[in-house]
Chain A
């Protein structure tokens, strides 16, 4: 069983978690293959199964088949978070567009500041930092411990972020476990 019990890689997730995530990864890869291929003959589907299995095997060897690598457990709450994020991105886009198009001088007052994060897991922090960057007007520049360094295009935008609604929502998305 030396192939499946890697004592030399203590960061690996438990076997149960790895097995569940591996199956989920295979299902996702297969779905992507089927939706992108459009050819449903045994040969082509066989290629799909073979490549999906190969990718799952390689990912497993790299030790990245776990809940963090394929966060399916976030899916139910993500369906609530994503629409809110899209709404937020839309309003931010309109806001930045107005600032860019202000006559004579763009209406900006750039800020560089650290903002605290309340997420417990690395995955939660990545989601928060990416949400910040995805929203026009704010870009995350670095993550240090429980702080994210953010560049904002204007003071109001910076204040809006520091009110922390996005932070609270990502922490909620991250959930209780772990």
Chain B
């Protein structure tokens, strides 16, 4: 197989894998019961989904400046997406939204 073909195959493999993770994140958003657990599903989309798609795009861009930019995107995503998740969770928690806890998913009393 030629190098270009290998790159093409790897590129699509990563993009499809990333899309599957984005899809699972979306399914999780619907299936999970409350706000806090849904953040975890969004975390799948933020990390593996986005990163695998970016890696796939790097393979299709090859050794160019575009790959460097995609790498920067990866870094910025890794730095900013946890901040967004944390800000959401903290805001909800401080406003008194109580998480469902335990296997039976009962809402327990005030935490602290």
Contacts and interface: CB of A to CB of B under 8 A. Distances in A.
Contact of B40 (A32, A36, A137, A140): A137
Interface SS of A by simple majority: mixed
A111 interface: yes
A29 B71 CA distance: 16
A100 B90 contact: no
A35 B69 contact: yes
Interface size class of B (residues with CB under 8 A): 35 or more
A96 B111 contact: no
Contacts of A101: 24, 27
Nearest to B79: A130
Contacts of B86: 129-130, 133, 139-141
Given A110-B34, A134-B47, A134-B81, 10 more contacts: A32-B72, A36-B69, A96-B41, A106-B31, A136-B47, A137-B43, A139-B39, A139-B40, A141-B86, A153-B40
Interface of A: 32, 35-36, 38, 89-90, 93, 96-97, 100-101, 106, 108-112, 129-131, 133-142, 149, 151, 153
